[in-house]
């Protein structure tokens, strides 16, 4: 159930049976020579929709641009400053809490979002922690990375092992190919596995990772793998969502 | 050409022939008894994609949540505060300008965004106006409402006349039905044409417009009308986009 | 009744019969070869005072500097960034609401303020829309451009027609001459009617409009016209103010 | 020379001979039983204009609303939050610096502004202190309280001694009466001299100072005193302004 | 009683007998040829601890970095922008008010903090002044400069007279030497007494005061003087603190 | 070498041989029945000083209050909002970068700081990523948790195993006892090992963890353990610091 595809009356009905909502959050940034700039948003969105179907949950529109300052050395990458993203998350939660939603499940497609979104949750909680009188009803936020599902990790470690890497991974590229068959671009990477390391800003990143990949070989991507990963992620995350919403 | 569906190398190529980009911006808010909560984002997105195809232009991901504080009395509606949206627009333009984009064409689906996005453009321009040394290269931003195309207005005035109204209009509902056939919900409105008037905050809005519509009868919506409106909007806006990018 | 000329006890008395207030907002920016830098603030202030007299309304001090980043290419022009002006409007309304004022009528002298002040109203309303418990008493804000009075438009279109333009208009210059006879500077403009067009930042503006005017011939200004325009604006706006305050 | 009464071409001429500008800053707040709410803005404005005449200096529009949160317990008082006022001062200076102004002389009418305006100067200086490359040309800001002129203090101490107090003083009330003869309201205060003490927020202030005065007897005000104080303030401040502008 | 050395249960007990707390605030900035960069923080901290002992008061952790933009021309100096420091003071007070503290006694070691911290108090008070319903319980903040104790001034004027100056004073240097004997650095200053004057940003400061001192001769510092000054400051400030907490 | 104990001339000398600096960051928050409220700041500070000695590095003053909104249900706990802490970290780095420091090593004592400080680094990097011209010299920031040293983990797992927990751990309490012998409070905890789980705001935290501990038994703390942990942490972190500063 996509929020965008409902009327307000539908949402009123939904709130009688559940106060949980799934919020996909991704990023718009380079993903190496054959990965889509939308990879992280696409992964979050398709897994989010899958959770919605599996758990009968409402799914908010995807936050497509995340915190990706380090990718700005590659054309097409976009970022929100951390303080901007904090404001976006805060307004998102406040808007939905206004209607009675209390469980906010952010399904995340981008490692670079974790710190800022976690900080955003603390910014939200700080208001009721500092002014406890207003703490009604109790809201809870959770950030879940789709790729940290144990089922997903089992598949990707068998399929890719040391070629999985941490950016522009064959797993995420495969997942986008499953979602968008027209996106498939078979390529041989050179070197096969990209270097690993750390980075600070976008100049430093581009210096260290000249084609955008970190430690990965997305040349190994395939639609078949994408389908398996998708199903695994949805199963794990839907279970996790249900437990999150059911908890006190 | 959707930015999300490109690689960074594709974008590098694109920038050699054009520095323009289309950025759909909509809203996530109630649209009356049979209109989708995503109506404004959907309209901006589909017209934006159409412009991309007609003008061979790159299309950024849709800004799905806009300034819609007045709709928060209806379940599912979301808003960014104006100051948050200003920050989002500022970071969006700054990110893309980093790569050499200079013409930012915001195709808009929501009247409530106009003031804030216009203010955001001024916030951006103020930096170079106050510190003119940094004004290189020259960037230009434009906000275009898809429904203000002359071709669109010609169609909607013939089809709906005094039933078009200003919120949850049959034109925008028709356009979403064209985009999403499964969204069609034929209904008889009561009263047929909604009241008109002004509003301030969400309580005031709900008091004045009990089912969410303003001055409209979206019971008259149809997929056929949606198709005609879509084609008209894309034609006008693509021409406008091309002129915008071509101008000095 | 100017707020500045009252004691606090006078204001306490006033609030027993009315909770409306007029707030002039202008700008400090170039107005072509013979227009005063204070034109927009002067127009808002004198019309505002006129409304105060005609409608027995309290008039707050003028917000003299508005959003005018595009004029910074001409010496003496000043601007508040949009986010600054939003904060100013927010604090202005909050201060006065503290005393029981509920109807805030901003009489505006500058087109460049419209977007930002409208966004500021939404920023204010967003608080009660997001936290409806606090929505007492109900406040309403209105922005009114003095030149959009129908009586004013009737006069200016007869007097100036295609020479009215949109910046440094003979109408606004005439109005300032009526207010400040010592400001009269009869001049022949070259070209008589300035070019029209669009603009972005201050460099772009100055490039397109070298002497500051847009589409106008303020060489046609006169004190007599100013007097007629003043009376027309006050009549229309005072009626509008009274209706605004009287409405629920 | 009021900035508002100049054209942009006049200002261009002015800048060839001086880069100094006088900026009156006041407040809009209660001033006891017979003092005007505009007292502080009026005093700053009339002294500022006087400096302009005496020193052939340009005078910017008055910042009429200052930091006066503690007066909000009395009807009609207005405040900007300190952070808002900092932004206003920052944008004011940045706008004028854009044209080549380098010496900003804030003539102040309100003790409550001192801390915040001083902090605003530091906010401005912090930019060049943190990023010294950009420190060209060198700008300097000064805040000057009109009542701290030695000539003014000599007069007020002789005239009012222990009845001068620190808020709603007979000196400032006299000065406004000199400026606006119609404002004269002779009254006997009860008690003649108001209590003194400290305050925090507006509730605390009203509790401690029930009619708004602090330590003063504005019943002693007179137009004659106002005229003497005006002349003294202008003389001292004009000298001070000239020295400020002349210094390296 | 240092807050850092207590358990939360200790603080709960403390709050049963007092709702006052001492908060040292200093700065991290150059203090001339033989003064420590931590001078202002050290002075505030040691006097703060002394007050804690003398008045049986809880002492919060020292705010070590203050507003010192003008010192950034000298290596090792640090600053918070005024708006950052306002946020820090606001969160500090809000956190402690949450537990029931109502009297916040900031013992200050740096003149450059005065304006910003005073503005921060107004920022805090403005919330309850604008929204009086929330004004419970009543909180009060006070900023006290340790060196303005009358006992301290008596000692320093006898010991140093015209060599005391206003930055890197022998009094403050002596106090740090008393606190940290290993910091003693006997030096002969050249010139013995530093120049006096004004300053704006860090470049201006360094130009005017080449070794960092203003009007002082810290070559006269001694541990013995430091001990006397410490005792005097603690006595006066502890009395002042007790009066502050005892007042309604 | 503590920055606070240096003169500015010392720092100038230091910068000739190194551009690295250690910045301890902790928190001020409850640490269970026998842990100090200052535990996290104390741990960061003493380990930071140890690194300074072992690596001949300069050590900045400790940021004593961190992001600890979830602890505000326990008396004495303090927090900065995430956006405030981001501003503090940004100003800290900007101040020191002004003098030529380029390697910022934040030694951290509090898990709750990780997300916000990481976001702060991205906020800093975003400036040069968005405006690459200004990226000179290259600065790098690193956050290091003292307890994640492999040597520390080896000791704590042997000593405490399943009683270590994640808040108010016997390791951190031991370390503070080593630093402050007078802080030792031997106690038997009830239950011996505290519950584990998740938390959101301060009300939720206190509900789940009634005495403040999470999963730990700080009744097992000892000065001897503290000494071993201190030495292990300093050794590992000093090596890490040296490698960080040495890297390109």
CB contact under 8 A, E28 and F60: yes
Q: Do chains E and A touch (3 or more CB pairs under 8 A)?
A: yes
Q: What is the DSSP string of E124-140?
A: HHHHHHHSGGG--S--E
Q: What is the pLDDT of residue F136?
A: 66
CB contact under 8 A, A38 and B98: no
Q: What is the pLDDT of residue F14?
A: 98
SS3 category, A114: helix
Tokens standing for residue D233: 């303030």
CB contact under 8 A, F15 and E72: no
Q: What is the DSSP string of B59-126?
A: EPPPB-----GGGTTSTT-----HHHHHHHHHHHHHHHHHTT--EEEEEE--GGGHHHHHHHHHHHHH
Tokens standing for residue A75: 């054309």
Q: What are the chain D neighbours of B132 within 8 Å (beta carbons)?
A: 98
Assembly ipTM: 0.97
b/e map E145-157, b = 16+ CB within 10 Å: bbbebebbbebbe
Mutation target for A interface from E98, E100, E139: give the one with most A CBs within 10 A. Answer: E98
CB-nearest to C28 from D4, D90, D212 is: D4
CB F64 within 8 A of CB F48: no
Q: What is the mean pLDDT of chain F?
A: 97
Secondary element (H or E) of residue F106: strand F103-108
**How far, in Å, CA of D96 to CA of C76, rounded?**
7
* F151-195 pLDDT, tens digit each: 999 999 999 999 999 999 999 999 999 999 999 999 999 999 999
Percentage of chain B exceeding pLDDT 90:
96
Q: What is the pLDDT of residue D134?
A: 59
CB E218 within 8 A of CB F7: no
At E138, the pLDDT band (50, 70, 90 cuts) reads confident
Q: How do beta strands A20-25 and F103-108 pair?
A: unpaired
E15 touches chain F (CB under 8 A): yes
CB F194 within 8 A of CB F211: yes
Q: Give Dmax (Cα) for chain C.
A: 60
Q: A121 CA to chain E: closest CA distance, Å?
A: 17
Q: What are the chain E neighbours of D79 within 8 Å (beta carbons)?
A: 126, 129-130
b/e map A22-47, b = 16+ CB within 10 Å: bbbbbbbbbbbbbbbbbbbbbbbbbb
At B132, the pLDDT band (50, 70, 90 cuts) reads confident
Least confident among A128-142, A223-237, C21-35, D159-173: A128-142
Mutation target for E interface from C84, C87, C93, C94: give the one with most E CBs within 10 A. Answer: C94
Tokens standing for residue C126: 């967003």
Mutation target for F interface from D131, D132, D134: give the one with most F CBs within 10 A. Answer: D131
φ, ψ for residue D227 (rounded to 5)?
-65, -45
Q: C244 CA to chain D: closest CA distance, Å?
A: 21
- Residue A132 scores a pLDDT above 90: no
CA distances from A146 to A50, A171, A240, D198, F212 (A): 11, 11, 11, 58, 32
**How far, in Å, CA of A69 to CA of F128, rounded?**
9
Q: How do beta strands D140-145 and C58-59 pair?
A: unpaired
Q: D133 CA to chain E: closest CA distance, Å?
A: 10
Q: What is the mean pLDDT of chain D?
A: 97
> Which letter does DSSP use for residue E32 in this model?
T
Q: C83-86: long-range contacts (C-beta < 8 A, 24 or more apart)?
A: C83/B83, C83/B86, C83/B123, C83/D87, C84/D84, C84/D87, C84/D88, C84/D90, C84/D91, C85/C113, C85/C116, C85/C117, C85/C120, C86/B82, C86/B83, C86/B119, C86/C116, C86/C119, C86/C120, C86/C123
**How far, in Å, CA of D96 to CA of D32, rounded?**
36
At B138, the pLDDT band (50, 70, 90 cuts) reads confident
**How far, in Å, CA of B86 to CA of E157, rounded?**
55
- Residue B96 scores a pLDDT above 90: yes
CA distances from D25 to D5, D66, D77, D114 (A): 18, 7, 16, 10
**How far, in Å, CA of C94 to CA of E83, rounded?**
21
B200 touches chain C (CB under 8 A): yes
Secondary element (H or E) of residue A145: strand A140-145
Per-window interface: B 76-95 vs C, CB < 8 A: 79, 81-83, 86
CB contact under 8 A, A7 and B95: no
- Residue F90 scores a pLDDT above 80: yes
- Residue E72 scores a pLDDT above 90: yes
Q: C132 CA to chain A: closest CA distance, Å?
A: 8
Q: What is the pLDDT of residue E134?
A: 59
Q: What is the mean pLDDT of chain C?
A: 97
Secondary element (H or E) of residue C38: none
Residues 6+ apart with CB under 8 A from F56: F1, F18
Tokens standing for residue E35: 């003064």
- Residue D218 scores a pLDDT above 80: yes
* E214-236 pLDDT, tens digit each: 999 999 999 999 999 999 999 99
C133 touches chain A (CB under 8 A): no
**How far, in Å, CA of E68 to CA of B72, rounded?**
45
* F94-128 pLDDT, tens digit each: 999 999 999 999 999 999 999 999 999 999 999 99
- Choose the CATH number for F3-246 among 3.30.1130.10, 3.40.50.10310, 3.90.190.20, 3.40.50.800: 3.40.50.10310
At residue E146's C-alpha, the angle toward residues E143 and E150, to 5°, is 110
Cis before residue F191, ω within 30 degrees of 0? yes
**How far, in Å, CA of C7 to CA of D221, rounded?**
15
CA distances from D145 to C6, D62, D241 (A): 23, 14, 12
- Residue A133 scores a pLDDT above 90: no
Chain C: partners with 3+ C-beta pairs within 8 Å: A, B, D, E
- Residue E248 scores a pLDDT above 90: no
Q: What is the mean pLDDT of residues C116-121?
A: 98
b/e map A140-165, b = 16+ CB within 10 Å: bbbbbbbbebebbbebbeebbeebbb
> Which letter does DSSP use for residue D105 in this model?
E
Q: What is the pLDDT of residue F134?
A: 59
* B192-241 pLDDT, tens digit each: 999 999 999 999 999 999 999 999 999 999 999 999 999 999 999 999 99
Q: What are the chain F neighbours of B95 within 8 Å (beta carbons)?
A: 130
Ordered by start, the domain boundaries in chain A are: 3-246
At B135, the pLDDT band (50, 70, 90 cuts) reads low
Q: F126 CA to chain B: closest CA distance, Å?
A: 10
End-to-end CA distance of chain B: 24
CB A3 within 8 A of CB A11: yes
Q: What is the pLDDT of residue A136?
A: 66
Q: What is the pLDDT of residue D135?
A: 58
D131 touches chain B (CB under 8 A): no
Q: What is the pLDDT of residue C134?
A: 59
Percentage of chain A exceeding pLDDT 70:
99
Q: What is the mean pLDDT of residues D42-57?
A: 98
- Pick the residue with more confidence: C135 or E42? E42
Q: What is the mean pLDDT of residues F226-248?
A: 97
| Half-sphere exposure of residue D200: CA atoms within 13 angstroms, side-chain side | 22
- Bridge partner residues of B21 (DSSP): B58, B104
Q: Which residue of C has its CA nearest to A90?
A: C130
At F243, the pLDDT band (50, 70, 90 cuts) reads very high
Q: Which residue of A has its CA nearest to F119?
A: A116
Tokens standing for residue A146: 């789709």
Q: What is the pLDDT of residue C74?
A: 98
- Residue F87 scores a pLDDT above 80: yes
* C19-77 pLDDT, tens digit each: 999 999 999 999 999 999 999 999 999 999 999 999 999 999 999 999 999 999 999 99
Mutation target for C interface from E131, E132, E133, E135: give the one with most C CBs within 10 A. Answer: E131
Percentage of chain D exceeding pLDDT 90:
96
- Bridge partner residues of D104 (DSSP): D21, D141
Q: What is the pLDDT of residue D103?
A: 98
Tokens standing for residue D157: 């101490």
Tokens standing for residue A135: 């703490």
- Residue C91 scores a pLDDT above 80: yes
At D138, the pLDDT band (50, 70, 90 cuts) reads confident
Predicted TM-score (pTM) of this structure: 0.98
Q: Which residue of C has its CA nearest to B132?
A: C203
């Amino acid at each position: 159930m996509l929020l965008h595809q409902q009327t307000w009356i539908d949402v009123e009905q939904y709130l009688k049976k559940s106060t949980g909502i799934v919020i996909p959050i991704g990023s718009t940034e380079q993903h190496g020579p054959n990965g889509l700039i939308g990879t992280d948003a696409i992964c979050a969105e398709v897994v989010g929709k899958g959770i919605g179907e599996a758990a009968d949950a409402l799914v908010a529109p995807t936050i497509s641009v995340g915190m990706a300052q380090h990718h700005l050395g590659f054309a097409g990458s976009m970022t929100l400053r951390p303080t901007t993203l904090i404001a976006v998350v805060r307004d998102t939660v406040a808007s939905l809490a206004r209607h009675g939603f209390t469980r906010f499940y952010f399904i995340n497609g981008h490692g670079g979002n974790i710190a800022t979104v976690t900080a955003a949750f603390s910014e939200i909680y700080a208001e009721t922690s500092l002014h406890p009188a207003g703490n009604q009803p109790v809201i809870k936020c959770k950030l879940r990375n789709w790729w940290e599902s144990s089922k997903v990790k089992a598949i990707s470690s068998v399929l890719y092992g040391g070629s999985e890497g941490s950016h522009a991974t064959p797993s995420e590229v495969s997942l986008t190919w499953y979602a968008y068959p027209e996106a498939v671009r078979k390529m041989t990477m050179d070197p096969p596995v990209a270097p690993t390391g750390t980075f600070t800003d976008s100049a430093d990143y581009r210096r260290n990772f000249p084609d955008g990949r970190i430690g990965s070989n997305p040349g190994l991507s395939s639609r078949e793998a994408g389908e398996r990963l998708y199903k695994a992620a949805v199963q794990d995350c839907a279970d996790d969502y249900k437990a999150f919403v059911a908890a006190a």
